[in-house]
Amino acid sequence: MALELGRAKGLSIGIIMDGNGRWAKKRGLPRTAGHTKGAEVFRDIIRYCNELELASVTFYAFSTENWSRPMEEVNGIMKLFGEYLVMAYDYQKENNRVVFLGDRSPLPEKYQEQMNDIEQKTRANTGTILNVAVNYGGRQELVHGIRILAQRVLAGELRPEEINTDTVSSVLYTAGQRDPDFILRPSGEHRLSNFMLWQASYAEFVDMDVLWPDFTRADLDRAIEEYNTRSRRFGGL
C-alpha cells in the first residue's frame, strides 16, 4: 500500500547507499555495474523524495575512506558522479536546493566548478534540500568546522566561551539545515560509517535488508512507516 499522504512531508532523512558491490557479485558482474544500477536508483529516489515533499535528504555517495578502493572502482564512481552533475541542472526545475557535503578540493576542477554553479543556481529554491555527500567524512567535517572556529577565535571575532552547539552546527557543511530525523541504511549493515556524526546525534537508525541497487520507492515507504512507529524522547521522558 502506498504511503499515506503527509506521513513523510517535512521529514529529513539521511541515506547510506550500501550494497552495490554485493549486488554485482551476486550476478557475476563487476562492482562498477552495481554502482551504475545504484546511481539509477539514486536518481529515482530523489524524484520520489520530491513527491513526498521531504524537507531534506542526504545521500552518502562517496566517503573519505572510499579512495582506498581499487582505482577502477573509484574512477567508475567518479564517472557516475560526473554524469550526475550534468543531470543535476534539472533539479533547478524540480525546485530542489542542491548542496554538496565534503571536501571537494581533490575532485577534478571541472567537477568543482559544476558543483559551485549548481549550488549557486539552486540556492533560493524552496523544495526538498538535496544534499550529496562526496569525499565526505563526519570526523573530517568536524575538523574542518573546528578550524574555522579556531581562525575566528584567533582573529578576535569569537570568544571560546561563546562556542556552543549552535556555533558548531553553523560551521558544518549542513549549516542552516535541520538535523536528520532518521538515517536509513539498506544492505543489512548496522553501522553509521562516519556519516553525519554530529547531525545524527538524536536521529533514529533504520536498517533494511535490501541491497541499494534493489531499493524501491516501496522500501522508502516502509522505512518511513518504521520511523513513524518510533517514539523519540531526545533524552527526556
For binding to ligand FPP (CB under 6 A), which residues are involved? 17-22, 35, 38-39, 42, 61-62, 66, 77, 80-81, 84, 132, 212
Take residue 211 and report the three cell numbers written for it: 541491497
Closest-approach residue to ligand FPP (CB)? 21
Nearer to ligand FPP, 12 or 20 (CB): 20
- Closest to ligand FPP by CB, 86 vs 155, is 86
In the complex, least distance from residue 187 CB atom to ligand FPP, rounded to whole angstroms: 6
Determine the Cα–Cα distance for residues 33 and 20; give it in Å rounded to an integer.
8
Instruction: Give the shortest CB-218-to-ligand FPP separation in angstroms.
Output: 19
Question: Given the complex with ligand FPP, which of 10 and 188 has the nearer CB atom?
Answer: 188
In the complex with ligand FPP, the residue whose CB is nearer, 91 or 212, is 212
CB of 230 to ligand FPP, least distance (A): 25
CA distance readout (Å), 149 to 130, 136, 156, 165, 169: 26, 19, 11, 12, 11
At 146, list the grid cell. 573546528
The Cα-based distances of 42 to 69, 124, 135, 191 in angstroms read 21, 23, 17, 20
For residue 135, how many other CB atoms are within 10 A of its CB? 21
Catalytic residue among 18, 181, 219, 221: 18
Selecting among 50, 66, 194, 228, the annotated active-site residue is 66
Active site annotation includes 18: yes
Grid cell 544492505 is found at 187
Shortest reach from residue 225's CB to ligand FPP, in Å: 23
Q: Is 44 a catalytic residue?
A: no
Quote the Cα angle for 44-219-62, to 5°: 55
Minimum distance from CB of 81 to ligand FPP (Å)? 4
Report d(CA 229, CA 138) in Å as an integer.
27
Closest CA to 99 of 44, 174, 10: 174
Give the CA count within 13 Å in the CB-facing half-sphere of 143: 8
CB nearer to ligand FPP: give 91 or 149.
Answer: 91
Catalytic residues: 18, 66
